[in-house]
Amino acid sequence: MAGRFLSLFKPIGRVLPEIKKPERKVSFNEKIFWTALVLIIFLVMTEIPLFGVSKAASDNFGSLRVIFASNRGTLMELGIGPIVTAGLILQLLAGSSIIQCDMSNSEDRGLFTSASKVFTIVLTGIQAGAYILSGMYGTTLAGPTVLVIFMQLLITGIVVMLMDELVQKGWGLGSGISLFIMAGVAQNILWSTFSPPTGLFVGSLSAYLGGQQTLVQWAFGSIQGIYPSLLGFIATIVVFLVVIYLQGIRIELPMSYAGYKGFRSRYPIKLLYVSNLPVIFASALFANVYFFSQLLWSQFGRPAPGTNLLFQIIGDYSQNATSGAVSTVGGLAYYVTAPRNIHSVIAAPLQAAAYLGIIIVFCAVFSLIWLEVGGLGPSKVAQQLMDSGMQIPGYRRSGRPIEAILKRYIPVVTVLGGIIVGLVAGLSDFFGAFGSGTGILLSVGIIYQYYELLMRERAAEMFPAFRRILGE
* CA-only gyration radius of the chain, Å: 24
Phi, psi values for residue 253, rounded to 5°: -90, 130
Q: Which residues contact 403 (CB under 8 A, 6 or more apart)?
A: 378, 379, 382
Q: Residue 173: beta bridge partners?
A: none
What topology does CATH give the domain 209-472? Preprotein translocase SecY subunit (1.10.3370)
Per-residue pLDDT of the chain (472 residues; tens, 9 = 90+): 455 777 888 888 788 888 888 888 888 888 889 999 999 999 899 888 888 776 555 555 655 677 788 888 888 888 888 888 888 788 777 766 777 777 667 777 778 888 889 999 999 998 888 888 776 766 666 778 888 889 999 999 999 999 999 988 888 888 888 888 888 888 878 777 776 655 445 555 665 566 566 666 666 665 555 567 778 888 888 988 998 888 888 888 887 776 666 567 788 888 888 877 788 788 878 888 887 888 888 778 788 888 888 888 888 888 777 666 677 888 898 998 888 788 888 888 999 999 999 999 999 988 888 777 667 788 888 887 777 777 777 666 666 778 888 888 888 899 999 999 899 988 988 888 887 888 888 888 888 888 878 777 776 666 665 555 444 5
The whole-model pTM stands at 0.78
3-class DSSP string for 433-459? CCCCHHHHHHHHHHHHHHHHHHHHHHH
Please name which of 360, 341, 338, 340 lies closest in space to residue 351, comparing C-alpha atoms. Answer: 338
Buried/exposed code over 150-161 (b: 16+ C-beta within 10 A; e: otherwise): bebbbebbbebb
The torsion defined by the Cα of 323, 328, 333 and 335, in degrees rounded to 10, comes to: 140
Phi, psi values for residue 329, rounded to 5°: -130, -5
- Residues 54/138, Cβ–Cβ less than 8 Å: yes
What topology does CATH give the domain 1-173? Preprotein translocase SecY subunit (1.10.3370)
For residue 390, is it left (φ>0), alpha (ψ between -120 and 50) or beta? beta
Q: What burial class does residue 409 get, using C-beta atoms within 10 Å of its C-beta: 0-12 exposed, 13-18 middle, 19+ buried? A: middle
What's the distance, Cα to Cα, between the start and end of the chain in Å? Answer: 26
Residue spans of the domains in the chain: they are 1-173, 209-472
Same fold, 1-173 and 209-472: yes
